Every structure is written in C-alpha cells, then in structure tokens.
Amino acid sequence: MKKAILGFILFVLVIAVYSFWTDFGLVKRLIGYNVPETTDPSIAKPDIDDEEDGLGFLNVPEGFRISIVAKGLDSPRVIVFDSNNRMLVSETKAGRVTMLEDKDKNGTFENKSTLIENLISPHGLAFFVEGRTTYLYIAETHQVARYAYDDNTGTLIEKIGANIATLPKDGGHFTRTILFGPNWRDRDLVKGTFPIGGFYSNDKLYISVGSSCNVCIETTWKRAAILESDPQGTFTGEFAGGLRNSVFFTFHPDTHEIWATDMGRDELGDNLPPDEVNIVKVAGPEHKFGARRFGWPFCYGNKIKDETFKPEKIERTDIPTDCSQTDAPVIELPAHSAPLGLAFINSDKWSSQWKNDLLVAYHGSWNRTEPTGYKIVRFKVDENGKVSETSDFITGWLSQNKKKTYGRPVDLKFGPDGALYISDDAGGIIYKLEPK
C-alpha cells in the first residue's frame, strides 16, 4: 500500500514538473488553448522609417507614425494621466501601479518608478477631485480603494486606501475597471437614500465586474455587471447586468453614454457567439429589474437563445430567460476576438473626418482553431451605434502565418498631447501613435 501511495505521489510530481517545464502545454491543448507564441518585436523585420524601434512589422494608417515610449513593463494594462501629464499604468500580474515620466520632454517616458505595490491584481485606475483634494482610485479584484494623491510630486499622500466598494473576489475574470461619469438616474433606487444617499450624486463611479465562469447563473448581482457608486462609497448598486466580461468601457463624447466591449462565452465553436460592443443605458420604468439586461448567460448576439445552456434550477428571478427582454449589442464583433480597450477619436491633431470614430483593441483569441484578433479596428458609427464603415486600423501583431504574435493590444487612451497610447501586456510595451 505504501509503495502504491509513494508511486502515485511520484507520478503526480513528475506530471507537475513536466507541466511547469513545458508551460502547461499539454493542459492548454486539452482545453483548446491556442495562443501563438509571443516573440520579441525587436526581431521583427523593420522598415526604413522605423528602424530605431523595429516596428516595421506594424501596419499603421498612412500619415501616422508609431513608436515605443515605454518598455520593460510587466503586463501593462490600464493607462491614465495625472494633471501634470505623468502616465500611470497598472501592472496587474505584478500587483503594482507604475508611474512613467517624460522629464526631458522628448516624447519618451524614460523615468519609471513604483507608485504602489503589493496589491491584489490592480487594474482600473481613475482620478477624481473632491474639494482641494485629488484622489486616485485603484480597482483591485476584491475592492475599489481611493488614495489621496499629491499632483505636484506625483506621490500618494496615504499608503493605505479607503475601501469604497467591496467586490466579489472568487472565480474567473478577476480584472475590475473603473471610470467616473455622469449620473443617469432620475429616480430613487433604494427607499430612503434621498437626500442622504448617493444615488443623486452628480458624479458616478462605474465599475465593471466580469463573470466568475464561462457560463453559469451567478449567485450575486455584483458579477457579470457594470456597477455604480458615488465617489465616497456610501453605496454600491447595479447599473446593468448580463454582461459576461465587459473589461473596458468608455463614454461617448456627445451623448456621454457608456459604450462597453463584452466578451462572449467559449465552447460554442470557432464562430459563436459574437463578441460585442454595447451602449449601456440607464434602466427606465419599463425595466422591472432596475437595470437593463444584456443577455448572458441565456442569450447572446442579437437576442439569440443559447440552446446549450439548460441549468436544472434557476433560483434568481432577476435574470430573464426570455431573450426579448434583453438588450442587443450595437456592434457584433468576430467571435473570440477578445475586445478590450476602446476609445473615440477626439484629438484635434487627427483628421476631422475621423472625429468620434470608435477604435477597439482586439486582444486576440485563445481557444480558436485559427487565431483571430491581435489588432485595432476602426468603426465609423453614429451616436446610436449604427456602423457605416469598418476597417483595420493597426495590424501586424499577429504574423502572417499566424504562428507568432509580437504583442497583444489592451488599453487605448488619448493623452494630453493628442496622441493615442496603447498598452501591450504581452510585450510589456506602451506604444504611441501620432500624425507625422
């Protein structure tokens, strides 16, 4: 018996060591993991104009140049700028927020320092000014905390943040993204909150929290949703649900409504379901749940029923199984593109013909037979989401034979200088795209 137990333990150890040594390649193949090998972009063939950065592998719009303004980062994700044009970047895997500074004003953020570390998967970053105090909000997996921030020195006045929103920490989809925006509520959500409560605050903090699973019925309304809070954290409510994993969202420059990317579920084949861009509007009196529903887990795409998901028991009464009671996306994207960052073109330095066009970063598929994504796409859309034109904007991160990738775009942010900044969590790079 002891020999059998020892033999089994040895077998498990051998499998564990082999899996670790091969980067869990066998496990990845069994679950359909198919991400091309990430290769250092510096070895890609450059063209004459981009020899310094070795970026000739990237195809950018005519009349633009792209450069690397920061590198050597650990899986950079969200980008924000403070009032003195310092760039803050969340390095989610490393558990820290890094500050990048261009002190000599040469266009490269050569000064890098750690603003705060030992966090739990920090992702979303946002600034908010309250009275004379500037606060930096950091979204970790389990909470959103705010820290008093010194704009002059670019340092945190307090090292321990005040928790203003408690979030679910178990399960998958661990990133949380935050943005401040307008308050769309015109009625009380919770009895007794007005005038003391925060639902009538002019400013709202919106928080995206992905699902804990591929497809399931969540036990909490704080999952697969965009939440809302006031800046002080006196409450947390549900703004919209049925959003499987809206990792990034932004606000339309004219309507100021939330536009959010959303990742569809896996295991329905290479071409289903579509990924999405949604206009996440406030619920009206006709929405009986107090929040709009965007389909997941029972529906996808244009209100199509997911016939493969048939749970034996449905305990929650606030999740419609009737797809006609859900909101359809305004843009359907190719399945498994993994859309992340999105931004409306609002820079005066760019062509006026592109004003308010939407850019979406396709992080790239992980479980598709033939990889797709790994690029940035431009959509000409009106304020209602009607698309009149779609075109690739930046390509080349995925090699032509689709066997290698030179990076994976994540966040898209226009900086104070009017340039577009792009984080790449596979290459550890921040790119800058600007007109020549």
Count of structural domains, the chain:
1
Q: What number is the average pLDDT over the span 175-180?
A: 98
37 within some domain: no
State which residues form the domain around 286. 80-370
Residue 104 identity: D
Name the strands in the sheet holding 111-116, side by side, starting at the edge strand that comes first in the sequence: 76-81, 87-91, 96-101, 111-116
Q: Facing residues of 204 across strands?
A: 181
44 within some domain: no
> What are the DSSP calls for 330-350, one per residue?
SEEE-TT--EEEEEE---TTS
Q: What number is the average pLDDT over the span 353-371?
A: 96
Structural Rg of the chain based on CA atoms: 22
414 within some domain: no
CATH of residue 249's domain is 2.120.10.30
Q: How far apart are CA 171 and CA 1, in angstroms?
A: 37
212 within some domain: yes
385 within some domain: no
182 within some domain: yes
Q: Considering the entire predicted model, what is its pTM?
A: 0.90
288 within some domain: yes
Q: Could you report the per-residue pLDDT of 267-317, keeping only the tens digit for each?
A: 999 999 999 999 999 999 888 888 999 999 999 999 999 999 999 999 999
220 within some domain: yes
Three-state DSSP class for 9? helix
Please give the DSSP secondary-structure letter assigned to residue 49: G
Q: Is the pLDDT of residue 172 over 80?
A: yes
13-17, 130-134, 298-302, 429-433: least confidently modelled range: 13-17
Q: How far apart are CA 397 and CA 57, in angstroms?
A: 7
